[in-house]
Chain A
């Protein structure tokens, strides 16, 4: 990772999803991979104090630019979302692990909830020329969906809305089951309850009879998770979650984990024990 002062190239509101900020940051862009994130300083002083983590929403190595999708939540997110072209942005990154698409994968299923679209959009752009890619995205309304025209043409885009204003009425998990038997790899990013639900669906799909003869049901599933974060350098241990291998820092061992490794409790991350 590296510290780099990026320059805001453009900003644009994307419906109610957030503000799309394009930042010129050649050093970060040259090292960035889908699923990794940058820790952005929300101001020049120490109030608010903590940097904000944003997953790459776009990586353009040739132009030396990255894209961030920023929800103007709280004083920090608000400050970042209000940047204008030409403004400086203090970036620390790229940080964490990235999604790994296997060579053998022919049918890649991407699942996004809310701003979890960010790494899924990067994967869609990188993989759609090489594999069959389906992106399933869920939002509260049509205004909480990523606009279809901002995706590669080759990507099959399936949408769900909770109010039925566009696509399937319901949640992403309502549209998923048929795709789970179709895909041989799944990558997902979104709220914890969504990820937990995908885990349950995947187990059910694994138990069900194989629909496509000679084809395994989704064996490889990777998820990018969110957690309240402090340093993002792996020192403060604020962002720890529980995995099959013990405590893991979302900023270092994550944010991308194997779905089967992450422990859930009632749709939320499992609780770390009080004492050893």
Chain B
């Protein structure tokens, strides 16, 4: 049964149109209801807009200035962006067999009553170990229009720098086998604008926010953290010492001493947990991990994207505007699991696994390798429900194997660790 708009709205909209173009309307051969919908859509106002004068949820108005106000997130048009409505929660879908069930409200979830709680960083416990990776979940409000984000453990926001950045030239994205190459270039409106813009929206998400901090100098990192301190909803910082798409971006992450220096500097300015995101480009990633731990890091994310390139054979030049970019997706999962495994042997602080997680089984690989939690990134682009499916899958695994908690399998695959007889994996 297709969704039907409320009858009253349709009638009112028709009256509006009738007064305008009566003669033309009579010539149209469509059924009255469909016609009204189309007529109301003509001038950019959807049927609901026409009837109520209020913007309708799904119909995007075309006023460019207003749209850009929201887009630049307060950089160029701060006055406009302030007027943006708080994020919409999951839209109740009309009942239909064809629709993917989007669950909201008091309905029970498969993960209810299952102990999925984990310590993602020292001093930071989350309801479950499924996080969203930086750059793939925006500021959380975007996907909140589509999925119930409050069922996730936490989100990591788009890499935030002290000052606004316009980002890299096109193309910024290229597909590769089981992966994506990207070179966005940390396009963001700057820390102050982010803090101002999302101070009200983040708490409304019901999802803890980890701010991804990027910069060129130690002072940049400290500056971002100082700007973000006190922003409601923020529970921790993730230091992006490894963005491959910014000149010098991997510098901090490749050198144990530099990584330790930036970690120490940020730790001195905040009481919130500080997570350092490791780069696979480091000559000795374990040494960087150890140095960060000694400098006071509360957790480590393993790993950021892997440098890569694609060539456009027809144009005889790289596809990406900057030449190379960062590879993500299932293509890098074995690399990420390996680094997680190695780092887990070297440090005592929690590890957040990241790299090509698409399903609960992928997440379990990271957890068994020694990660306390995982970040889901590229998979969300293909399937926006992937992060929630992973939460459900992990709950099913805990239940099917009679585990007391998901924590029981963290590091289960580590050599030398006493193993169980084997557990059954259930999707």
Contacts and interface: CB of A to CB of B under 8 A. Distances in A.
Nearest to A100: B44
Contact of A5 (B68, B99, B163): B99
A103 B45 CA distance: 11
Given A129-B27, A253-B68, A276-B165, A238 B136 contact: no
A274 B329 contact: no
B254 interface: no
B173 A238 contact: yes
Contacts of B27: 129
Interface stretch (B339-347, B363-371, B377-385, B408-416): B377-385
Nearest to A245: B68
Interface string A210-231: 0000000000001000011111
A96 B182 CA distance: 22
B98 A7 contact: yes
Interface string A92-134: 1010111111110000000000000000000000110110000
- Bin the interface of chain B by size: 35 or more
Nearest to B1: A26
Contacts of A90: 383
A64 interface: yes
A246 B380 contact: no
Given A256-B62, A271-B170, A236 B99 contact: no
Contacts of A253: 64, 67-68, 71
A240 interface: yes
A258 interface: yes
B112 interface: no
A266 interface: no
Nearest to A30: B3
A41 B383 contact: yes
B172 A228 contact: yes
Interface stretch (A46-54, A163-171, A173-181, A195-203): A46-54
Contacts of A243: 64, 68
Contacts of B34: 61-62
Interface string A233-247: 111111111010111
Nearest to B31: A62
A272 interface: yes
Contacts of B37: 61
Given A3-B385, A237-B172, A276 B166 contact: yes
B58 A1 contact: yes
B116 to A, nearest CB: 23
A33 B59 contact: yes
A228 B170 contact: yes
B58 A94 contact: yes
Interface in B37-69: 37-38, 41-44, 46, 58-62, 64-65, 67-68
A249 interface: yes
B294 interface: no
Interface in A51-75: 51, 61-62, 64, 74
Contact of A31 (B58, B76, B170, B178): B58
21 contacts: A2-B146, A3-B146, A3-B385, A5-B99, A33-B41, A33-B59, A49-B330, A64-B2, A97-B60, A99-B62, A130-B21, A233-B146, A235-B137, A237-B172, A246-B72, A247-B72, A257-B64, A271-B170, A272-B167, A272-B169, A274-B185
Given A4-B100, A46-B330, 8 more contacts: A3-B146, A61-B38, A92-B384, A97-B67, A126-B38, A127-B42, A245-B65, A272-B167
